[in-house]
A and B are shown apart, each in its own frame.
Chain A
Amino acid sequence: MRNPQLNQHGELQHLLTLDGLPRDILNAILDTAAPFTEVAEREVKKLPLLRGKSVFNLFFENSTRTRTTFEIAAKRLSADVVNLNINTSSAAKGESLLDTVDNLCAMQADMFVVRHAASGAPMLIAQHLQNTGRDHIHVVNAGDGRHAHPTQGLLDMYTIRHFKRDFTNLTVAIVGDVLHSRVARSQIAALTTLGVPEVRVIGPKTLLPTEVERLGVRVFHDMREGLKGVDVVMMLRLQNERMNGALLPTPQEYYKIWGLTAEKLALAKPDAIVMHPGPMNRGVEIDSAVADGAQAVILPQVTFGIAVRMAVMSMLGSR
């Protein structure tokens, strides 16, 4: 069976997950993103690639940064952007996901950027479009349940490549709430595909998925041990709102054991970079001094995110 994200020529048709996406496509997206970073410096921050196209941001779950950067990316490509806040619209009145999609297709949508609490929702939409012969409409997953957040994974890879150049000699640590994190899944998939020799996940047993080792990572339950000698520290947000049941003691206690402080960061390589997908819980998973420190590249991540999303949309948008 062919990868549902690729068309019959092996080109990107939808972006749903980084899992199983070939290395040459990942590299093509990263290479394409590089020249888009320059557009932000121009007098006119607009390119004509998606002129006349309509991009619908379908956010069934709250998001500020992701939705905003997708919107900026689409607007810099000259697309018309329509933001649908589904909490206050038809879904709240009981319309099904695919009925919503069909209605927006009737309004000549060219691309859907979808965030949904249910894993697999963007895939469902992509399959529906394929089944109904609407191959010219593209779907970009902006985060689904615990499954994937591919553009976040891509912008993280762009950031690592920007600061470290080469993936094949790196040790990368992903720290925190891996269990609830679609970001971590996308990061692990991309890092492995791009040839990072050692990917570590660091966290308490209650916040790591069972058999996480099968993803090809080394597991550490001791943060100090896990951070030793790493080149990249990727912090995850403690997903308070997803937490049910007593997985954790208190945020203060979590910070004591799993919070990234200058003292713990000193165990990594001296030139290690610190990343965070945002929004940060200062004083829970990361200390303010580290978040604002010289090794943090958290704000460049946001800026690169626009270029990466422009690259993805412009690679999809022509077909």
Chain B
Amino acid sequence: MKDLDAEALCRQLAEQIRPHVCPATALVGIYTGGLWLAERLHAELGIAQPLGAIDVSFYRDDYASKGLHASPKKTEIPFDVDGAHVILVDDVLYTGRTTRAALNELFDFGRPARVELAVLVDRGGRELPVAARYCAHTLAAPLAREQNLELQRDEAGQFGLKLTQRA
């Protein structure tokens, strides 16, 4: 993914969202890459509501077969979900299963007025009826199942996209 400039995509994503920000807008980042991205967007867009974070480990649909994810993080939703305009933020949209899990978890905190999805890259390969309202880049051809694309953050806080091959 050498041709993908994560920093530029992040700026594009912020500009897509900006016209739709209202006082009720709240961002929720999905661990880990999505939360990094959400932190950046939250500052960039000057969102008034505090930033939320979701770890979907407890809601994953592969728990029965794969077990609990190692060292899950605390989900923290520091705003009132009832009536909020929530934007879920993830780095890469793939099967849609993570989004499904995040939605289920979010609704255990209350009834949001609206939920939208913002992602840096849509890699294709959807297995559920999920679409991102805000998306900085859609790959021309879906990635193969063995390939893994994820956001990286270096020590200076700069974003990069890393493509790896699973064995």
Contact = CB atoms under 8 A, between A and B. Distances in A.
Interface of A: 11, 28, 31-32, 34-35, 37-38, 42-44, 46-49, 314-315, 318-319
Given A28-B71, A35-B55, A38-B75, A46 B108 contact: yes
Contacts of B110: 43
A309 B67 CA distance: 16
A314 B68 contact: yes
Nearest to A37: B74
Given A34-B74, A35-B55, A47-B58, A42 B108 contact: yes
Given A35-B55, A44-B108, A49 B72 contact: no
A11 B66 CA distance: 12
Contacts of B65: 318
B58 A48 contact: yes
Contact of A32 (B72, B107, B108): B72
A48 B104 contact: yes
Contact of B59 (A28, A42, A48, A315): A48
B139 interface: no
Nearest to B82: A43
Contacts of B59: 47-48
Contacts of A37: 74
Interface of B: 55, 57-59, 63-68, 70-76, 81, 104, 107-110
Contacts of B108: 42-44, 46
Given A42-B108, A43-B108, A318-B64, 6 more contacts: A32-B68, A35-B57, A38-B75, A38-B76, A47-B59, A318-B68
B104 A315 contact: no
Contacts of A319: 67
A44 B111 CA distance: 11
Nearest to A77: B58
A244 to B, nearest CB: 44
Contacts of A318: 63-68
B90 to A, nearest CB: 19
Contacts of A35: 55, 57-58, 72-75
Contacts of B107: 44
B52 to A, nearest CB: 12
Contacts of A11: 67
30 contacts: A11-B67, A28-B70, A28-B71, A31-B71, A32-B68, A32-B71, A32-B72, A35-B57, A35-B58, A35-B73, A35-B74, A35-B75, A38-B74, A38-B75, A42-B109, A43-B81, A43-B108, A43-B109, A43-B110, A44-B109, A46-B108, A47-B58, A47-B59, A48-B104, A49-B58, A314-B68, A315-B67, A315-B68, A318-B65, A319-B67
A46 B109 CA distance: 10
Nearest to B104: A48
Residue from B58, B74, B75, B76 whose CB has the most chain A CB atoms within 10 Å: B58
B68 A49 contact: yes
A43 B72 CA distance: 20
B75 to A, nearest CB: 6
Contact of A49 (B63, B66, B76): B63
Q: Lowest 10 CB-CB distances: which A-B pairs, in order?
A: A44-B108, A318-B67, A31-B71, A47-B58, A35-B74, A35-B72, A38-B74, A318-B63, A314-B68, A43-B110
A44 B108 CA distance: 5
